[in-house]
Chain A
Amino acid sequence: MAKTLEKVDVVTVGLGWTGGIIAAECAKAGLKVVGLERGKERSTADFLRVHDEYRYAMRYELMQDLSKETITFRNNRKMRALPMRQMGSFLLGEGLGGAGTHWNGQTWRFLPYDFEIKSMTDRKYGKNKLSADYLLQDWGITYDELEPYFDKFEKTAGLSGDAKNPFAGKRSSDYPTPAMKKTPILKKFETATSKLGYTPFMLPSANLSESYTNPDGESISACQYCGFCERFGCEYGAKTSPEITVIPTARKTGNFDIRFHANVIEVLKKGNKVTGVKYIDNQTGEEYIQPAEVVVLTSYVMNNAKLLMVSDIGEQYNPETQKGTLGKNYAYQILPGATGFFDEQMNVFMGAGSLGMTIDDLNGDNFDHSDLDFIHGGSISMTQTGTRPIQTNPILPDTPVWGAEFKKASIYNYSRTLNVSTEGASMPHKENFMSLDTDYKDVYGVPLLQLTYNFTEQDRNLHKYLTEKISTIMKEMGAKTVMAGNPITNYDIVPYQTTHNTGGTIMGSNADDSVVNNYLQHWDADNLFVVGAGNFAHNSGYNPTGTVGALAYRASEGIIKYSKSGGSLV
């Protein structure tokens, strides 16, 4: 029998960026908040020995324990979905800070075009630019409406940038801290892209250029360019993360309580309200019911969708009839790129997760698509994140992958190779969706989430277009040999690509085509909020966290408002 606990004002499921932001804002406003985190406590002190590529990057020290829970995957409805037994294509987080602990810190605002993508595309290119199989839709909120929340997140994070991107939406204030250092490697990209007529600028970074105190009084240190960001925690507290910002902010109010090892298995619903959540302490196996006035789902994209599905809240999307909204518009990203082999050795091992320069000329609708067979684009960047020896063994296609020749070439090329890469946008397609698996279960006996996903024509066309442009940039940068990325075929869940999964619990302006409104409040239950990249109606050509942070601040405002007056916020 589950033990019923004392009721609280707000319960968050997960304590990464979204849960942390909501906890901080609600607790500051006087609400009693409980955060349920299935992983463990961790802090900067735990990362002193983090320069360990094997433990953190190869064996995924900070990531989800898949022996307890994973997802199943198939490329299309005809295939049998099978469990993702090992992590690969994307890295699910676990523990305090979630994926916000092991992120790189590249922090963007999606473009004004993104939020009104359907109307703007139709207006400019007609209704049939993409086939009806692409479920393009507006987000139910505009860039201008979201701008104050972007601003707030950037100030919490202390973001470092130069605001020189001519294509970015209007900003109400400058970046809180100046841009990171412009390294010789970045300068190569700057010179080459300028020469080709593009406008390079410094990538907005949550690895800070100088120490900073945010409006909540939390301090973030200056980045040391140690080269261990993605897949690692920061031993300096110099990479803005929930556990050094919003979590301590929430804790010092006295209104916030965290329960670790608390794995939520169900959202409890009665009539048109939710009443709380049921969770299992994954160390003792004991079950608890945590009643709450407001339930906020703040775990990752997949788990947020799964909890709604297993709790039977909302209508599951059916690709056959295209009815239902839960699970639809799952999107990912494409990563067109090119590798350049140079003669000179470069300090590739130095770096920071978001040390980079970018051009946005080929992103969004920043260029004319009239004669192109795709929409949108991607941000093209030269990043210097610190290449590490296990994972970086660059060789040309005609070099054997093992043996004497491999050893010589991979060692020679290690410090003589650069990559220019893209975060390429991904459009929702009727056959790409999430649902519940009928064969596989997690250790708690709950069905696994099932992902049905493949790249589409739009992806292939955009990928090809950008790959050619990037190869030209790499040549201009002085590479002696340029190796363009292979054309994409079927989505493969094995090699790492990106942890930028989106959709499934999308936001919108009405209940017919979205799961939540523009306060991330569920259409079917006023006191349930679902927050994260799952709210994205499509995925843009950027890292998602900036937009996720903005949405979390927006949701916080909604929750506080709801707690006072109740009812639908729209």
Chain B
Amino acid sequence: MDKDKKGLSRRDFLKTTGIATGALVGGGLIGGLVGYKVNKEGQVAGMGGHKGVGGVQAVANNRGLMFFTNMADFNILSQAVERIFPEDDLGPGAIGLGVPYFIDNQLAGNYGSNAKEYMQGPFFPGETTQGYQSRLTRAEIFKQAITRMNEEAQKKFKMEFVKLDGGQMDEIITAFQKNEVAMKGVESGFFFRLLRQATLEGAYADPIYNGNINMEGWRMKGFPGNQMTYISEIENEKFVKYELESLSSMDH
């Protein structure tokens, strides 16, 4: 079942969706389909299985820091997310997937500034059932927590966080998870949950967000990405493997 799951011509596609029979008015969808290369071959570079961090640079050469202002902070973040989602025999970890860049870039935008969230006072701690009640934005929480991680490393192990061994890093991350690290205006457990969630988002979001490089996160998981249709395989008893597709394939 591996090959040519995209062998669906545009005409077939229009037929099965009823669009060709005039089911869809307005022309928006049909117009938008022009340029969508349904049978496109030669996907993004590096499609042929993961090779750790090395083979992925080709597609990531335009990435850079939009939020963090120094590499020391960025490296702490990178090591921490790699502990949460490490490289193993299945494939790349968070660093290999570009997760640190994903998080950095998100912190520079609406996510980091909580743009779509209610941030008016007054602020009170609240019960856990009432959720996020911090005055701090995610960007402020990440910045503070990265500094605190390094301070904890100094305090516990007399070393920079990035120089710790894996087990020592885990100890510090666990302390955050258990709410044992004092933070200003937010609990460390809250930051831990943000960090864990952002790591998973970076590992599995479409590569257009600079994580999940070469769709390696999806490949490990068996998620085929942005497929147009499953109608011909939805009744298949066997697990179907597809050639992975990113949303970026719609734009070039």
Give the contacting residue for A225; candidates B28, B122, B234; CB below 8 A.
Answer: B234
B130 at the interface (CB under 8 A from A): yes
A227 at the interface (CB under 8 A from B): yes
Residues of A within 8 A of B231 (CB): 222-225
A352 nearest in chain B by CB position: B234
* B40–chain A nearest beta-carbon distance, Å: 16
* Chain A 345-368 per-residue mask, 1 if CB under 8 angstroms from chain B, else 0: 111011100000000000000000
B230 engages A45 (CB within 8 Å): no
Which stretch in B51-59, B149-157, B181-189, B200-208 binds the other chain?
Answer: B200-208
Q: A45-B28, A225-B231 are in contact. Are A211 and B86 (CB under 8 A)?
A: no
Residues of A within 8 A of B133 (CB): 82-83, 85
Q: A60-B116, A411-B90 are in contact. Are A403 and B170 (CB under 8 A)?
A: yes
In the complex, A237→B22 CA distance in Å? Answer: 12
Residues of B within 8 A of A236 (CB): 17, 19, 24, 29
In the complex, A463→B89 CA distance in Å? Answer: 41
A287 at the interface (CB under 8 A from B): no
Interface size on B, residues (CB 8 A): 77
A12 at the interface (CB under 8 A from B): no
* Chain B 15-54 per-residue mask, 1 if CB under 8 angstroms from chain A, else 0: 0111101111111110111000000000000000000000
B239 engages A415 (CB within 8 Å): yes
Q: A43-B26, A54-B206, A84-B118 are in contact. Are A493 and B130 (CB under 8 A)?
A: yes
Q: A235-B29, A408-B88 are in contact. Are A184 and B237 (CB under 8 A)?
A: yes
A411 engages B201 (CB within 8 Å): no
Which stretch in A304-312, A388-396, A536-544 binds the other chain?
Answer: A388-396
Give the contacting residue for B196; candidates A221, A223, A401; CB below 8 A.
Answer: A401
B28 nearest in chain A by CB position: A45
Q: A221-B19, A439-B122 are in contact. Are A493 and B131 (CB under 8 A)?
A: yes
A226 engages B19 (CB within 8 Å): no
* Chain A 31-56 per-residue mask, 1 if CB under 8 angstroms from chain B, else 0: 00000000000011110110111100
In the complex, A65→B117 CA distance in Å? Answer: 7
In the complex, A23→B244 CA distance in Å? Answer: 43
In the complex, A401→B85 CA distance in Å? Answer: 10
Instruction: Give residues of chain B (126-147) contacting chain A, Cβ–Cβ below 8 Å.
Output: 126-133
Residues of A within 8 A of B225 (CB): 51
B69 at the interface (CB under 8 A from A): no
A491 nearest in chain B by CB position: B129
* Chain A 83-107 per-residue mask, 1 if CB under 8 angstroms from chain B, else 0: 1111010000000000000000000
A389 engages B218 (CB within 8 Å): yes
A414 at the interface (CB under 8 A from B): yes
B247 engages A49 (CB within 8 Å): yes
In the complex, A45→B30 CA distance in Å? Answer: 9
In the complex, A490→B129 CA distance in Å? Answer: 8
B23 engages A237 (CB within 8 Å): yes
A54 nearest in chain B by CB position: B205
A238 at the interface (CB under 8 A from B): yes
In the complex, A66→B110 CA distance in Å? Answer: 13
B131 nearest in chain A by CB position: A494
A85 engages B132 (CB within 8 Å): yes
B71 at the interface (CB under 8 A from A): no
A338 at the interface (CB under 8 A from B): no
Give the contacting residue for B131; candidates A88, A181, A351, A389; CB below 8 A.
Answer: A88
Chain A interface residue count: which class? Answer: 35 or more
* A487–chain B nearest beta-carbon distance, Å: 16
B227 at the interface (CB under 8 A from A): yes
Q: A75-B127, A221-B19 are in contact. Are A226 and B24 (CB under 8 A)?
A: no
In the complex, A49→B251 CA distance in Å? Answer: 10
Residues of A within 8 A of B235 (CB): 181-184
Residues of A within 8 A of B237 (CB): 184
Residues of B within 8 A of A85 (CB): 114, 117-119, 131-133
A58 at the interface (CB under 8 A from B): yes
In the complex, A183→B234 CA distance in Å? Answer: 6
In the complex, A182→B84 CA distance in Å? Answer: 38
Q: A345-B239, A389-B204 are in contact. Are A54 and B209 (CB under 8 A)?
A: yes
A45 engages B32 (CB within 8 Å): yes
B111 at the interface (CB under 8 A from A): yes
A492 at the interface (CB under 8 A from B): yes
B83 at the interface (CB under 8 A from A): yes
In the complex, A221→B228 CA distance in Å? Answer: 14
Residues of B within 8 A of A329 (CB): none
B19 engages A224 (CB within 8 Å): no
Instruction: Give residues of chain B (184-230) contacting chain A, Cβ–Cβ below 8 Å.
Output: 196, 199-201, 203-206, 208-209, 217-218, 220-230
In the complex, A78→B239 CA distance in Å? Answer: 53
A480 at the interface (CB under 8 A from B): no
Give the contacting residue for A224; candidates B17, B28, B85; CB below 8 A.
Answer: B17
Residues of B within 8 A of A347 (CB): 230, 233-234, 236, 239-240
A404 at the interface (CB under 8 A from B): yes
In the complex, A59→B209 CA distance in Å? Answer: 13
Residues of A within 8 A of B132 (CB): 85-86, 494
Residues of A within 8 A of B159 (CB): none
* B133–chain A nearest beta-carbon distance, Å: 6
Residues of B within 8 A of A70 (CB): 118
Q: A65-B116, A237-B24 are in contact. Are A411 and B206 (CB under 8 A)?
A: no
A219 engages B233 (CB within 8 Å): no
B120 at the interface (CB under 8 A from A): yes
B66 at the interface (CB under 8 A from A): no
Residues of A within 8 A of B124 (CB): 80, 82
Residues of B within 8 A of A411 (CB): 90, 220-222
A407 at the interface (CB under 8 A from B): yes
In the complex, A284→B208 CA distance in Å? Answer: 33
A330 at the interface (CB under 8 A from B): no
* B62–chain A nearest beta-carbon distance, Å: 19
B18 engages A222 (CB within 8 Å): yes
Closest 8 CB pairs of A and B: A45-B28, A211-B18, A54-B205, A345-B239, A224-B229, A389-B204, A350-B230, A219-B23
15 new A-B contacts at CB < 8 Å, known A236-B24, A494-B129: A49-B247, A63-B116, A65-B116, A73-B130, A79-B127, A181-B235, A221-B17, A221-B23, A226-B227, A237-B29, A346-B239, A347-B230, A388-B204, A414-B222, A494-B128
Task: Sample 20 A-B pairs with CB under 8 A, ordered by A number.
Answer: A44-B26, A45-B29, A49-B250, A52-B206, A82-B124, A82-B126, A84-B118, A84-B131, A88-B131, A183-B234, A210-B18, A222-B17, A224-B230, A238-B17, A347-B240, A350-B240, A388-B223, A393-B200, A415-B239, A491-B129
